[in-house]
A = this chain, B = another copy of it.
Amino acid sequence: MSRNLNNVSPMHGHPWTSQRRLLLELLHDAEGYVDAKELYRRASARDESLSPATVYRSLNLFKELGLVDEMRLGKVRCCYEIKRASEHQHLVCQGCGKVIEFQSPYVRKLIQAVRHEYGFNVTKAQLYLEGYCLECQEKEKSDSPCAATQGKHHE
Contacts and interface: CB of A to CB of B under 8 A. Distances in A.
A130 interface: yes
A69 to B, nearest CB: 12
Interface stretch (A2-10, A33-41, A43-51, A109-117): A109-117
A149 B121 contact: yes
> How many copies of the chain does the oligomer comprise?
2
Contacts of A137: 119, 121
A151 interface: yes
B120 A133 contact: yes
Given A100-B120, A104-B113, A127 B125 contact: yes
Interface string A122-155: 1111111111111001000000000001011000
Interface of A: 72, 91, 93-94, 100, 102, 104, 106-107, 109-111, 113-114, 117-134, 137, 149, 151-152
B91 A118 contact: yes
Given A91-B114, A106-B106, A113-B104, A122 B133 contact: no
Contacts of A126: 127-130
Given A91-B114, A110-B107, A131 B127 contact: no
10 contacts: A102-B117, A106-B109, A106-B110, A119-B133, A119-B134, A120-B132, A120-B134, A121-B137, A125-B127, A126-B129
